[in-house]
Amino acid sequence: MNQGMNGGCSCTHHKMVPLFITIIGVIFLLGATGYLSAQWVSILWPITLILIGLQKMIGPMCKCCSMKK
């Protein structure tokens, strides 16, 4: 496994899912506080999920992931 400073995997694609989850949370928070309209929230969160899926499908496989197979 590719070890990072905190002992976790340092592969960039392993950091993408937490980043997108955070983005989805921010989108909903902005919608709940009135900074984004409900229409924008209903457009942005599916786009974010699509981007997560595309990144996982076409993203490169790291050494730690290829060792699992």
| Across 57-69, average pLDDT | 66
In-domain check, residue 19: yes
In-domain check, residue 29: yes
Q: How far apart are CA 51 and CA 48, in angstroms?
A: 5
Q: How many domains does the chain have?
A: 1
In-domain check, residue 38: yes
Q: What is the pLDDT of residue 65?
A: 66
Q: What is the pLDDT of residue 23?
A: 85
5-42 pLDDT per residue, tens: 555 666 766 777 788 788 888 888 888 899 988 888 88
Domain region containing 24: 12-58
Q: How far apart are CA 59 and CA 65, in angstroms?
A: 12
In-domain check, residue 67: no
| Across 55-69, average pLDDT | 67
In-domain check, residue 5: no
Q: Where are the alpha helices (DSSP H) in the chain?
A: 12-32, 38-58, 63-68
Q: What is the pTM of this model?
A: 0.58
